[in-house]
Amino acid sequence: MTLIDWIGFIGVFQILLAYFLNVIGKISNTHIAFILLNLVGASMACLASILINYWPFIILEAVWALVSLYALFNYKKNH
C-alpha cells in the first residue's frame, strides 16, 4: 500500500469507528470523541481523495468534514 492508501484507510477507519461506537451505545453523536473522529477521519479521507484526484469522494468527505467542523463549533459553544 502507498502512503495515500494509508491516509485514506486510516481516515475511513476513524469514520467507521465513530459510527460503530455510536451504534453500540459507547458514545453519542454529540460526544467530542464522535465529532473529532469524524472530523479527522473525513479530512484524511478527503486528502487521500484529492491526492488521487477522485472528485466524488473529495466532495463527500469535504462536506462530511465541514459538517463535523460545524458540530465541533456547536460543541465548544455549549460546553
Which tens digit of pLDDT belongs to each residue from 19-76? 999 999 999 999 999 999 999 999 999 999 999 999 999 999 999 999 999 999 999 9
Residue-wise pLDDT for 15-31, tens only, equals 999 999 999 999 999 99
Cell of 28: 453519542
- Hey, what amino acid is at 57? F
Please state the pTM of the whole predicted model.
0.95
| CA distance readout (Å), 12 to 9, 18, 73 | 5, 10, 22
For the chain, the structural domain boundaries read 31-79
Write down the pLDDT at residue 76.
Answer: 95
Write down the pLDDT at residue 4.
Answer: 98
Contacts of residue 34, defined as CB under 8 A and 6 or more positions apart, other chains included, come to: 18, 21, 22, 27, 28
Write down the pLDDT at residue 8.
Answer: 98
